[in-house]
Amino acid sequence: MDLVARSGVLPQPGETVLGGEFAMIPGGKGANQAIAAARAGAATRLLGAIGSDAFGVTLKARIDAAGVDTALVRVVYGASGVALITVDDAGENTIVVAPGANAAFTDLTEPERAAIADADVLVAQLEIPVETVTAAARAARAAGTRVVLNAAPARSLPADLLDAVDLLVVNETEADAITGERRPEPLLAVVPRAVVTLGPAGAWYVDRDGASAQVPGVRVDTVDSTAAGDAFTGALAVAWAEGREIVDAVGWACAAGAACARTLGASTALPRRAEIDELWSVSRGPGRAS
């Protein structure tokens, strides 16, 4: 659950600032990216855990309403995951995540492994234990399911996880945590394909076949960038699963991230396919179909 406060400026350590609007919005990277993928046009199933608290009830209802299959989502006794978010007038944010039930998602059941094997693409994040992410990625690799890893929050990653990743999605800070550099090329030492997101400036794609493309961002009036990265990752996975050329898929994902940033909130801001298509078409100029 995202607890979001607006503030003119982000507080510095030890500083208290007077805020403005407050909102309580269902979120979480896994849920956000599942909803983003569903709204972008994919049949989507979520594997994860929610708490037995009131937040858990609300979270599941929101995910269900977005058309995501939650049949395998676990309910764990105790608190659901919570994110404490401050958003300033420029749309920038700071986020602290208290994992709650996410920390209890420590293994995979046979039905969960079967769901991974049945998928075209597995999308994973790092708000659950990295051991579980590794197990899921290796199960996907064994079944021929492509693996998209959004390595956020930033942390060091085990080699056996990276060996199972087909496409790594990180921002510049996360890239630096993995390789010590903010550029994408060093990531090719550990994964075959990588995208480094650059905020409003777009994204940079590289792969081991020699491709390198800086994809420009889509200009919008930014209200809140909180879930823009999740919109990007979910849309990228959908476009790649549909067989789009990867650089085109990255551009379409940039449009999804930009569309998301126009609205306050996380899951509430994630765009639908028609909205992504419209923004992507406009950004490419007159006479060019999406």
Going residue by residue through the chain, which has 290 residues, state the pLDDT in tens, using 9 for 90 and above.
989 899 999 999 999 999 999 989 888 899 999 999 999 999 999 999 999 999 999 999 999 999 999 999 999 999 999 989 898 988 888 888 899 999 999 999 999 999 999 999 999 999 999 999 999 999 999 999 999 999 998 888 999 999 999 999 999 999 999 999 999 999 999 999 999 999 889 999 999 999 999 999 988 888 877 789 999 999 999 999 999 999 999 999 999 999 999 887 778 889 999 999 999 988 775 444 33
Q: Is 226 annotated as a binding residue?
A: yes
Q: Name residue, tokens 């909205």.
A: 275
> What are the domain boundaries of the chain?
30-52+103-278
Catalytic residues: 230
Q: Which element (helix H / strand E) includes 21?
A: strand 19-25
Provide the CATH number for the domain formed by 30-52+103-278 in this structure.
3.40.1190.20
Question: Rounded to whole angstroms, how far apart are CA atoms 222 and 262?
Answer: 5
**H helices of 98-245, where?**
110-118, 130-143, 159-162, 172-179, 228-241
pTM score, whole prediction: 0.89
**Cα dihedral 184→190→194→198 (10° resolution):** -40
User: 46 a known binding residue?
Assistant: no
CA atoms within 13 A on the CB side of 62: 24
Q: Residue 33 in contact with residue 256, Cβ under 8 Å? A: no
CA 278 – CA 290 distance, rounded (Å): 8
∠ Cα 8 14 20 (to 5°): 25
H or E, element range at 258: helix 246-260
The sign one gets for the Cα dihedral 7, 51, 137, 106 is positive
91 Cβ contact partners less than 8 Å away, ≥ 6 residues apart:
222, 223, 224, 225, 261
In angstroms, how far is CA 17 from the centroid of its own chain? 29
User: Is 229 annotated as belonging to a binding site?
Assistant: yes
Tell whether residue 60 is among the known ligand binding residues.
no
